[in-house]
Structure 1
Amino acid sequence: MVNHQIKVIQALASSFVEGGRGVSGTAFPKQPEKSLKLYEFEGSPFCRRVREVLTLLNLDYEVYPCPKGGTKYRKIVKQLGGKKQFPFFIDDNTSTQMYESQDIIHHLFEHYGRTGKIPKKFAHYPKIPVMALAGTIINGARGVWVDQRIVNREAPQQLLELWGFEASPFTRVVRGVLTELELPFIFHNVAKERWQDMGPAVLRLKPGKYIPIKEGKREKVMLLMGRDIQVPYLVDPNTQVRMFESAKIVNYLKKQYGA
């Protein structure tokens, strides 16, 4: 448990380095009909840029983890795009396949943003992602390399499902393990929609009973969870498991899909 808390603290520090990106998002996302697909790995600073924008737009998407040394999805990226470069993004709604984080971000704002225009601060990233790279280092470079004990093991038949948002330190720890175990999953973004959402479920900035924006995405998620929103939340349709708490989720994933 102490080791897990250290990882959470490192993940929290990693989020601070990025200046709070990956926390807030729209309450009314333009979720496409067909699932967006992202081939990436948690520890990549370029992939992190894309995930932050996906949280800002509050979009759900499928994740196919491609850690260094991985054997499942890196080869698929090579087959589809011709090279092992990440992130690799697929949008079947627009018949699009692309590399380059900046190009992916432009595509996301163009097709799924409110105005179709790219906000100035997202329009031109520095070539070297210094802050995101620092965040990866602070986070102990977790979610970079595959767990060698599971190499060549088949993936579960059905995609796992994870609710969270990019900058959530508890969610980041879980995503790191999912990456290292090469477990594909659907990531359901639950971005903070306004200032009243800020803070953990038990200690939000606005005291009293939490009431989400009417007909917003968080209201729908609350109905799904059957309680106040708490992330991460994992659903494994392969075993019918549903659970909160990052430490419990990590233990479950390692026991069920680890060595």
Structure 2
Amino acid sequence: MAGVLNFPTIPIVRSVSPQKTIYHRRGISIRVSSESSEPWVSSESPEPWISVSTEEVPKSGFPSSTTTTTTTTTTTPAFSPPPDFVAPNPKRFRARPDKRRDILAASLAPLFRFATGVFVSGYAASLVPKSEIPSGTYALEVAGYKVKETSKLGSRPEKPIEIYEFESCPFCRKVREIVSVLDLDVIFYPCPKKGPNFRPKVAQMGGKQQFPYMVDPNTGVEMYESDEIIKYLVGKYGDGNVPLMLSLGLFTTLTEDFAMIGRMGRGSSYTPSRLPPEPLKLWSYEGSPFCKVVREVLVELELPHLLINCARGSPKRQILYEKVGHFQVPYLEDPNTGVQMFESAEIVEYLRATYAL
């Protein structure tokens, strides 16, 4: 199996520093501060999963006959799939009858945004005979031919970008579109209104609750302002050129707003939930209406997730195809329960049954 993707170590402690001094070591970001740091969970989510270790050691540097005592306490909340849970069989391009209105409303977004976020950078496609596509290679089939898709991607970050945002914010959508175009994997920390965990963290890190907020653990860069984030990402991981539909100022912002009219603010308000020990993994891309309805619930439940972007032209489509013998998004992997599943309607029900309080 090719292209195995691993979760990075997630920063659990981020305390604010007046000098904004940041140390990066082994994937953990620690800020120097006179203030006490807080764990990832809040008092509203009381399930701790942090290991605490205490050790008695001799004060001198010489060997001692005193026995070293180590005490380790680990408490992890138990998560399991709903009773009698069975992952559904994938059904391509189909919406469950009771969810068709939701998918139709979510489909307005790519229309208003002229498909920004549907295709990766440098996308090109051509119809070729089936014999030109090797067996075991992902490709659409059209009228007896196959679609050969290519792209031109920039340098790849070693660690996923981290973004604090929420689904119904037009400025956040701009940033989600560019990471889809650039085919970047991102750890999203959802910040719905009244969310107890990551909204306060943004204020600690940057000094104000403003979204989106981006952290690049590869360079130590942290920033607000969607346009500045976009310029940074295309300069670092693209060809330096901002796509037209993301460079039109007020027109871009207005069309981002219109794109979300059909969903009426879904993905903006917090639903009480339990935070999992590990982030979920979602194979997705910004232009898909099926993926959007899943993202809305991930944000409402404030569930951190590693989003594997795989818009049209992404080489990661082949990785998922080899992984499960099929390509379709959204595809959810939950390391906290072992569940792996397709189908947006069932994913939404699974998330609420497993994590909502």
TM-score (norm. length: structure 2): 0.62
How far apart are the structure 2 equivalents of 1:130 and 1:117? 21
Superposed displacement of residue 123, structure 1: 3.7
1:29/1:59 contact within 8 Å kept:
no
How far apart are the structure 1 equivalents of 2:258 and 2:316? 32
1:9 aligned residue: 104
Summarize deviations over 1:157-179 as a string: whole Å, max 9, x none. 00000001101000000000000
Higher helix share: 1
Higher strand share: 2
2:108/2:260 contact within 8 Å kept:
no
Superposed displacement of residue 50, structure 1: 0.5
How far apart are the structure 2 equivalents of 1:179 and 1:138? 17
Q: 2:206 aligns with which of 71, 78, 81?
A: 81
Q: 2:113 aligns with which of 6, 18, 39?
A: 18
Q: Does 1:182 align with 2:297?
A: no
Summarize deviations over 1:12-47 as a string: whole Å, max 9, x none. 112211111110004445321122100000111000
Which consecutive residues of structure 2, in runs of 5 or more, have no partner in the other structure? 1-95, 122-150
2:194 aligned residue: 69
What letter is aligned with 1:62? I
1:14/1:139 contact within 8 Å kept:
no
Instruction: Spell out the pairing of 1:203-242 with structure 2 (5 A cutoff).
Output: 216-224=315-323, 226-242=324-340
Q: Does 1:125 align with 2:249?
A: yes
Tell me, what secondary structure is at the counterpart of 2:326? coil
Tell me, what secondary structure is at the counterpart of 1:33? coil
How far apart are the structure 2 equivalents of 1:118 and 1:7? 31
Q: Does 1:43 align with 2:138?
A: no
How far apart are the structure 1 equivalents of 2:298 and 2:204? 23
Q: Does 1:140 align with 2:277?
A: no
Aligned residue-pair number: 232
Distance 1:103 1:127, change over 3 A: farther
For the aligned residue pairs, the C-alpha RMSD in angstroms reads 1.7
Summarize deviations over 1:166-204 as a string: whole Å, max 9, x none. 0100000000000011011000001101xxxxxxxxxxx
How far apart are the structure 1 equivalents of 2:104 and 2:156? 32
How far apart are the structure 2 equivalents of 1:62 and 1:48? 15
How far apart are the structure 2 equivalents of 1:217 and 1:125? 31
1:106/1:123 contact within 8 Å kept:
no
1:29/1:58 contact within 8 Å kept:
no
1:209 aligned residue: none
How far apart are the structure 1 equivalents of 2:267 and 2:243? 29
Superposed displacement of residue 83, structure 1: 0.2
Superposed displacement of residue 6, structure 1: 1.2
- Name which structure has the greater RCO, CA cutoff 8 Å, separation 6+: 1
How far apart are the structure 2 equivalents of 1:57 and 1:128? 18
2:234 aligned residue: 109
1:100 aligned residue: 225
Summarize deviations over 1:137-166 as a string: whole Å, max 9, x none. 22221111112xx1xx44100000000110
How far apart are the structure 2 equivalents of 1:16 and 1:116? 26
Superposed displacement of residue 221, structure 1: 2.3
Q: Does 1:171 align with 2:291?
A: yes
Tell me, what secondary structure is at the counterpart of 2:201? helix
2:286/2:292 contact within 8 Å kept:
yes
Which consecutive residues of structure 1, in runs of 5 or more, have no partner in the other structure? 194-212
What letter is aligned with 2:295? R
TM-score (norm. length: structure 1): 0.84
Identity rate of aligned residues, in percent? 41
